Amino acid sequence: MSIVPCAMCSVEFEAKTSRAKYCSTRCKDKGKPSASGLTCSVCGGGMVRGRTSQQQGEARHNRCGHTYGSGCRCEPCSAKKAATMRAYVDAVRSRTGVHPTTLQRRKFRDENGYWPHMTGSAWIDPQLRHALYKRDKWSCSICELPIDREAHWNDDLAPSLDHIKPRSLGGTHEPDNLRTAHRICNSIKGATYELV
């Protein structure tokens, strides 16, 4: 690979092959004759001959025409979408005093009785959690080894509460369905249902 100047804009770029002449597709397309004076309906740039059969006002570059689940990702469309979202957030904040995401999380909490898992908040009341650790004598119910009380919450030997009947299979947060486990043992067990 070598550094060469672009044949269109003269900006130096790292050529991946010995035949590379342009720094980008945009510069490569600029060097081709335009398609009968047509311009892209999105970015306003000239269309390349042989690249479209659309009429003026409908033609657009491939890079401007890619649509995804959230719409086109060209610069004008992205800027327009960002401005729309900023206006929406500002309107909700002025009306309620909080961010829209906070409203959604509060609604979830009111309907389900606990904060959504994505917040990182505990599902189970911290006092109940500590009482369950004490009930199980700070030992893992899966491997039966002691729990490190001072471990970082993300450490393998940190305490966690294991649902005997997993929530995905209809288990609840009732104390009878909870037992103390190492974080790693709980992760390895996953959503398996053990009859005890």
Tell whether 76 and 101 lie within a shared domain.
Answer: yes
- Among 40, 6, 10, 38, residue whose Cα is nearest residue 23: 6
pLDDT higher than threshold 70 for residue 54: no
The type of residue at 22 is Y
pLDDT higher than threshold 70 for residue 164: yes
- Among 27, 67, 58, residue whose Cα is nearest residue 40: 58
Within-domain flag for 195: no
Calculate mean pLDDT across residues 79-100. Answer: 92
* Number of structural domains in the chain: 3
Residue 8: domain span: 2-63
pLDDT higher than threshold 90 for residue 88: yes
Within-domain flag for 196: no
Residue with tokens 């906070």: 102
Q: Which two tokens stand for residue 139?
A: 């030992």
Where residue 170 falls among pLDDT bands split at 50, 70, 90? confident
pLDDT higher than threshold 50 for residue 47: yes
Q: Are 34 and 46 in contact (CB under 8 A)?
A: yes
Within-domain flag for 57: yes
Q: What is the pLDDT of residues 121-149, one digit of tens each?
A: 456 778 888 999 999 999 999 999 999 88
- Dist. CA 26–CA 58, nearest whole Å: 19
Within-domain flag for 194: no
- Dist. CA 176–CA 132, nearest whole Å: 10
Calculate mean pLDDT across residues 157-167. Answer: 89
Which range is least confidently modeled, 5-19, 85-99, 138-152? Answer: 5-19
102 or 25, higher pLDDT: 102
Q: Are 142 and 160 in contact (CB under 8 A)?
A: no
- Dist. CA 170–CA 193, nearest whole Å: 11
- Residue ranges of alpha helices (H) inside the chain are 25-30, 62-65, 75-96, 100-112, 126-135, 183-189
Where residue 119 falls among pLDDT bands split at 50, 70, 90? very low
For all residues of the chain together, what is the average pLDDT?
Answer: 80
User: What pLDDT is recorded for position 42?
Assistant: 74
Tell whether 11 and 59 lie within a shared domain.
Answer: yes
- Dist. CA 59–CA 34, nearest whole Å: 12
